[in-house]
Amino acid sequence: MSKSKDIPLTPAESVVNDPDAVEIIRIWWSRNEPAFALKPAFRNPESFGVMLAQAVRHMAYAYGQREIAPQDEAYDAILKGFNRTIDGPTVETVLEKDAGTAS
Protein backbone atom coordinates (compact mmCIF):
# COMPACT_ATOMS: atom_id res chain seq x y z
CA MET A 1 0.00 0.00 0.00
CA SER A 2 1.40 3.34 -1.04
CA LYS A 3 1.99 5.91 1.67
CA SER A 4 2.14 8.74 -0.86
CA LYS A 5 0.59 12.12 -0.22
CA ASP A 6 -3.12 11.72 0.46
CA ILE A 7 -5.59 13.06 -2.05
CA PRO A 8 -8.88 14.10 -0.47
CA LEU A 9 -11.85 12.07 -1.68
CA THR A 10 -14.60 14.58 -2.28
CA PRO A 11 -17.73 14.26 -4.40
CA ALA A 12 -17.73 15.98 -7.79
CA GLU A 13 -19.76 19.17 -8.10
CA SER A 14 -22.19 17.38 -10.43
CA VAL A 15 -22.92 14.89 -7.62
CA VAL A 16 -23.31 17.55 -4.94
CA ASN A 17 -25.82 19.39 -7.15
CA ASP A 18 -27.82 16.23 -7.99
CA PRO A 19 -30.65 15.65 -5.49
CA ASP A 20 -31.07 12.11 -6.87
CA ALA A 21 -27.41 11.09 -6.43
CA VAL A 22 -26.92 7.91 -4.38
CA GLU A 23 -23.73 6.74 -2.70
CA ILE A 24 -23.36 3.03 -3.52
CA ILE A 25 -20.00 1.89 -2.15
CA ARG A 26 -17.18 2.89 0.17
CA ILE A 27 -13.98 0.86 0.33
CA TRP A 28 -11.18 1.00 2.89
CA TRP A 29 -7.94 -0.97 2.97
CA SER A 30 -7.51 -2.30 6.51
CA ARG A 31 -5.41 -5.12 7.96
CA ASN A 32 -4.26 -6.22 4.50
CA GLU A 33 -7.75 -6.61 3.08
CA PRO A 34 -10.60 -4.48 1.79
CA ALA A 35 -13.49 -3.46 4.02
CA PHE A 36 -16.71 -2.36 2.34
CA ALA A 37 -19.86 -0.40 3.06
CA LEU A 38 -22.36 -1.28 0.33
CA LYS A 39 -25.82 -0.23 -0.75
CA PRO A 40 -27.39 -2.46 -3.45
CA ALA A 41 -29.09 0.52 -5.11
CA PHE A 42 -29.41 -0.85 -8.65
CA ARG A 43 -32.50 -2.88 -9.53
CA ASN A 44 -30.40 -4.84 -12.03
CA PRO A 45 -27.14 -6.23 -10.54
CA GLU A 46 -25.55 -6.04 -14.01
CA SER A 47 -25.53 -2.26 -13.55
CA PHE A 48 -23.13 -2.74 -10.64
CA GLY A 49 -20.79 -4.57 -13.01
CA VAL A 50 -20.97 -1.64 -15.44
CA MET A 51 -20.10 0.72 -12.58
CA LEU A 52 -17.12 -1.45 -11.56
CA ALA A 53 -15.85 -1.46 -15.16
CA GLN A 54 -16.06 2.33 -15.24
CA ALA A 55 -14.24 2.49 -11.89
CA VAL A 56 -11.39 0.40 -13.37
CA ARG A 57 -11.02 2.85 -16.26
CA HIS A 58 -11.07 5.84 -13.90
CA MET A 59 -8.53 4.25 -11.54
CA ALA A 60 -6.17 3.43 -14.42
CA TYR A 61 -6.44 7.07 -15.51
CA ALA A 62 -5.63 8.20 -11.94
CA TYR A 63 -2.53 5.98 -11.84
CA GLY A 64 -1.41 7.56 -15.10
CA GLN A 65 -2.06 11.10 -13.90
CA ARG A 66 -0.08 10.52 -10.69
CA GLU A 67 2.71 8.96 -12.79
CA ILE A 68 2.59 5.75 -10.76
CA ALA A 69 2.18 3.69 -13.94
CA PRO A 70 1.22 4.45 -17.54
CA GLN A 71 -2.57 4.34 -17.89
CA ASP A 72 -2.65 1.31 -20.21
CA GLU A 73 -0.27 -0.66 -17.97
CA ALA A 74 -2.28 0.27 -14.88
CA TYR A 75 -5.48 -0.87 -16.61
CA ASP A 76 -3.94 -4.24 -17.53
CA ALA A 77 -2.57 -4.70 -13.99
CA ILE A 78 -5.95 -3.88 -12.41
CA LEU A 79 -7.67 -6.42 -14.66
CA LYS A 80 -4.98 -9.00 -13.85
CA GLY A 81 -5.62 -8.59 -10.12
CA PHE A 82 -9.39 -8.63 -10.69
CA ASN A 83 -9.29 -11.83 -12.73
CA ARG A 84 -6.88 -13.55 -10.33
CA THR A 85 -9.27 -12.76 -7.46
CA ILE A 86 -12.43 -13.76 -9.35
CA ASP A 87 -10.83 -17.05 -10.48
CA GLY A 88 -9.17 -17.75 -7.11
CA PRO A 89 -10.46 -19.10 -3.83
CA THR A 90 -13.83 -17.84 -2.71
CA VAL A 91 -13.77 -14.56 -0.84
CA GLU A 92 -15.64 -14.83 2.45
CA THR A 93 -18.14 -12.11 3.26
CA VAL A 94 -18.14 -11.29 6.97
CA LEU A 95 -20.74 -8.94 8.39
CA GLU A 96 -19.18 -6.61 10.94
CA LYS A 97 -20.92 -4.42 13.47
CA ASP A 98 -21.37 -0.85 12.23
CA ALA A 99 -18.75 1.37 13.88
CA GLY A 100 -21.45 4.01 14.45
CA THR A 101 -23.65 1.67 16.49
CA ALA A 102 -23.61 1.78 20.27
CA SER A 103 -22.63 -1.39 22.13
User: What are the backbone angles phi and psi of residue 95, rounded to the nearest 5°?
Assistant: -85, 120
Report pLDDT for 50.
96
Report pLDDT for 100.
65
- The C-alpha atoms of residue 73 and residue 60 are separated, in whole angstroms, by 8
Report pLDDT for 5.
63
Across the 103 residues of the chain, what is the mean pLDDT of every consecutive 10-residue run? Answer: 70 93 93 91 95 96 95 97 87 76 54
Which three-class secondary structure state does DSSP give residue 26? strand
- The C-alpha atoms of residue 102 and residue 100 are separated, in whole angstroms, by 7
The letter for the amino acid at 96 is E
